[in-house]
Structure 1
Amino acid sequence: MKAISYSRYGGPETLAYGDVREPKIGPDSVLVKVRAAAVNPVDWKAREGYLDPMLDAVFPVIPGWDVAGVVVQLGVSVAEYAVGDEVIGYVREDFLSRGTFAEYVGAPVRTLARKPRNLTWEEAAGLPLTGLTAYQVLTQALQVKRGETVLVHAAAGGVGSIAVQLARHLGARVIGTASEANHDFVRSLGGEPVTYGEGLAERVRGLAPEGVDAAFDTVGGDTLRVSANLLAPEGRLASIADGDVVGYGGRYFWVRPDADDLTRLSELAEQGVVSVHVSETFPLERAADAYRLNEQGRTRGKIVVTVDWADEAAENGGNGGSGEQ
């Protein structure tokens, strides 16, 4: 099958497009024919070796954890899905090797949910990691309640834009940091935008003089310090970007695959509560360009890589055409 892979840590230049071995399917997994896969900052951080203290890399590594596609083969113990089901997944294992930037991916059922019927393949691919991160931080780490005020950083980005929508659904008031160019976008999600950078604390206090009940940090560094100082007396703080949050009495959060949470997100998408903004798409062979754009850190919503299945010969070849086993 065709895939993007890298055989050593490094920059986008390490990414190669070509043939790799098709994945084997374990008893509790399914083979997914990939329609789209979203780019996340953690993908290029893994490629550059930042996750090496945590996750072993089995080279060559196919990057990517987000996927939307069609089930084409079942593991022997799988009863949750049938061949032909449309699914989304946060397909993360405890090592780096078998990612989603490929024509096929083997996905444990614990990482999957049914695709929202109202989302395109590209939109659906952008939901799992960002959606699960936002959902789990808001409901577990911050335990946001109706009537509270929540500060969300990078509110126009992948995680931030979903967090704004989910926090509003939970009944919270949301203040979101963003560049001025993205203020209208943040408003369209239900948030009250403020410009990040120097003077941020004063701007937030102008909107919430008594402090915020919860702060969701996606940036780290000085932004984390400012967030801690903006909390109300009983305020809560969580970060997905900076472990120093623990020193401020907050929680450092790492998202985990959860089929139930992902199913809930899919339901919320079908109800119109959550939408996914796709800023740009790239074909699989240009995934390196998608990474370069993501690494600039200024994306509104998501960047997505797509797999073209127009060629029937490619579609029917290999394991993907073998059906259920």
Structure 2
Amino acid sequence: MQEPSGTTSAATSRAVLFESFGGPEALTVRDVPAPQAGPGQIRVRVTAAGLNPMDWFMTSDAETAARFGLSLPCGFGTDYAGVVDQVGAGVTGFAVGDRVFGGALSRAVADHVVVDAAGTIAAGGDAHHTPDGVDDRTAATLSIAGCTAAAALAVVKPGPGDTLLVGGAGGGVGVFAVQLARIAGARVIGTGSATSADALRALGAEPVAYGEGLVDRVRALAPGGVTAAVDLFGTDTAQAARDLGVPDARITTIAAQVDGITPTNGANAAPGTLEEIAGLVAEGRLRVPVAASFPMERIRDAAELQAGRHVHGKVVVDLQ
């Protein structure tokens, strides 16, 4: 059997694991056997891992984990960025030393991750070349949030002349949705807390407070009406959009289902989406605010902050 090319000397590496399902308190850092790239695979020395709500949702209990094909002991985190340090037999398009980013379902917060060179996030993991001009910390935030935002916008198709209402605009997916919609030419009104107003304006959105009275506040801000909506948090924004006269065909949700409204997720993103988003970042047309970063040893703090759902931007774990 052909051995993988690259570094093979490390016998162990660190990984964040769940030895029992639960919240951030169940996360531990362990030394584990260093994974090795097999045929069709590459191994990445991870330098940064971005966190998402799905990370802690998937591992909250055994029943939920089973729906995603996860069992104990289980890793944590999906988005990663780093450098290829092993290439398995038969792999083309990647070489040792290449900077890459991508997703590896519930195993990204680790010193090393092995992914299929031609895989998907959910099946074997995937990898994309990191463009020059995009640092690893930013690249580690792109996969889940970027694909989810792009998929949501593909449902409602915002463009010039549209006024798009974005629920949860300051969150990890929201920062992408707002900017991608603005790039498409739409006016964007984004819901958030009072403390998120300046952050939303910086992204190009007009802020509006969520909660009771949202419909009236949006009407005051956009007397000409709202033409499309994406709800990135629950169902309140979707319902408000209906009350504002937006047809169901131009409303979507990512975190809940509403009868008559098409839900979506990152798996629905079109091929090439991540390359396009990374290119926009490299060109300086899209920026990713990193709200906080933590070393691996503080993974519980990082997970608690992210799980609170009040972060304006992304939370990243540094593994350099």
Q: Confirm or deny a common fold (TM above 0.5).
A: yes
For residue 175 of structure 1, give the secondary structure of its aligned residue in structure 2. strand
Counterparts in 2 of 1:159-238, with a 5 A limit?
Answer: 159-233=173-247, 236-238=250-252
- Is the Cα contact below 8 Å between 1:116 and 1:124 reproduced in 2? no
| Aligned residue-pair number | 299
Change (3 A) 1:11 1:214: same
**Counterpart of 2:289?**
277
Structure 1 residue runs of 4 or more that deviate by more than 6 Å after TM superposition:
none
**Counterpart of 1:319?**
none
Give how far 1:171 is off.
0.9
Change (3 A) 1:91 1:258: farther
Q: TM-score, normalised by structure 2?
A: 0.88
For residue 158 of structure 1, give the secondary structure of its aligned residue in structure 2. coil
Distance, in Å, in 2 between the alignment partners of 1:90 and 1:258 is 16
- Is the Cα contact below 8 Å between 1:87 and 1:114 reproduced in 2? yes
Distance, in Å, in 1 between the alignment partners of 2:15 and 2:71 is 15
1:268 to 265, 273, 280: 280
Distance, in Å, in 1 between the alignment partners of 2:252 and 2:238 is 9
Per-residue CA deviation, residues 156-202 of structure 1 (Å, 9 max, x unaligned), is 11110111000000111111011122212111111111111111111
**Counterpart of 1:251?**
262
1:71 to 76, 84, 87: 84
- Is the Cα contact below 8 Å between 1:213 and 1:234 reproduced in 2? no
1:131 to 146, 171, 181: 146
Instruction: Confirm or deny that 1:84 pairs with 2:92.
Output: no
Distance, in Å, in 1 between the alignment partners of 2:228 and 2:103 is 26
Change (3 A) 1:105 1:53: closer
Give how far 1:108 is off.
2.3
Give how far 1:210 is off.
4.6
For residue 39 of structure 2, give the secondary structure of its aligned residue in structure 1. coil
* Structure 2 counterpart of 1:208, one-letter code: A
Give how far 1:147 is off.
2.1
* Structure 1 counterpart of 2:151, one-letter code: Q
- Is the Cα contact below 8 Å between 1:239 and 1:251 reproduced in 2? yes
Change (3 A) 1:221 1:260: closer
233-242 or 129-138, larger mean C-alpha shift: 233-242
Give how far 1:258 is off.
6.6
Q: TM-score, normalised by structure 1?
A: 0.86
Change (3 A) 1:288 1:171: same
Instruction: Confirm or deny that 1:149 pairs with 2:160.
Output: no
For residue 101 of structure 1, give the secondary structure of its aligned residue in structure 2. coil
Distance, in Å, in 1 between the alignment partners of 2:70 and 2:193 is 36
198-207 or 229-238, larger mean C-alpha shift: 229-238
Instruction: Confirm or deny that 1:102 pairs with 2:114.
Output: no
* Structure 1 counterpart of 2:99, one-letter code: E
Per-residue CA deviation, residues 51-77 of structure 1 (Å, 9 max, x unaligned), is 335212232111111001001111222
Distance, in Å, in 2 between the alignment partners of 1:101 and 1:200 is 38
Distance, in Å, in 1 between the alignment partners of 2:39 and 2:77 is 22
Distance, in Å, in 1 between the alignment partners of 2:165 and 2:131 is 28
Identity of aligned residues (%): 39
- Is the Cα contact below 8 Å between 1:194 and 1:203 reproduced in 2? yes
Instruction: Confirm or deny that 1:47 pairs with 2:55.
Output: no
Per-residue CA deviation, residues 205-224 of structure 1 (Å, 9 max, x unaligned), is 12233532221111114343
Structure 2: which 5+ residue stretches go unaligned? 1-12, 120-125
2:28 to 16, 22, 33: 16
- Is the Cα contact below 8 Å between 1:74 and 1:83 reproduced in 2? yes
Structure 1: which 5+ residue stretches go unaligned? 309-325
Distance, in Å, in 1 between the alignment partners of 2:65 and 2:224 is 42
